[in-house]
Amino acid sequence: MSRPADLPGRPAPPSTQVLIAGGGPVGLSAAVELGLRGIACVLVEPRAQPTRTRPRAKTLNIRTMEHLRRWGVADALRSVCPLPTWWSQDVAFCTALLGPEITRFTGVLGLSADGVSPELGQQAPQYVLEETLREIVHDLPSCTFLVGSRVTSLRPHEDGVEVLVQHPDGRSETIAAEYILGADGPRSLVREAIGARYEGTHAQRPNLGVMFRSVELMDLLPNPPAVQSWLVNNRTPGVMGPVDRLGTWWLIAFGVDGTAGDLDLQQLVAGALGRLVPIEIISTDPWTARMELADRCRAGRSSSSATLLT
* Triad 126, 133, 33: Cα angle to 5°: 120
Query: Where, residue-wise, is CATH 3.50.50.60 in the chain?
Result: 15-52+127-198+295-309
First to last CA, the chain: 28
CB 154 within 8 A of CB 189: yes
Tabulate helix, strand, coil % of the chain (nearest 5).
Answer: 20, 35, 45
Note the pTM of the prediction, 2 decimals: 0.90
**How far apart, in whole angstroms, are the C-alpha atoms of residue 208 and residue 198?**
23
Look at residue 186 in the predicted model and tell me its pLDDT.
Answer: 86
Look at residue 310 in the predicted model and tell me its pLDDT.
Answer: 54
Look at residue 10 in the predicted model and tell me its pLDDT.
Answer: 79
Residue ranges of the chain with per-residue pLDDT less than 50:
1-7, 303-306
Look at residue 305 in the predicted model and tell me its pLDDT.
Answer: 44
**How far apart, in whole angstroms, are the C-alpha atoms of residue 77 and residue 32?**
15
In which element (H, E) is residue 239 found?
strand 238-242
CATH number of 15-52+127-198+295-309: 3.50.50.60
CB 23 within 8 A of CB 184: no
Look at residue 306 in the predicted model and tell me its pLDDT.
Answer: 45
Superfamily name with CATH number, domain 207-288: D-Amino Acid Oxidase, subunit A, domain 2 (3.30.9.10)
Reduced to 3 states (helix: H, G, I; strand: E, B; else coil), residue 62 is helix
Query: Where, residue-wise, is CATH 3.30.9.10 in the chain?
Result: 207-288
Look at residue 259 in the predicted model and tell me its pLDDT.
Answer: 84
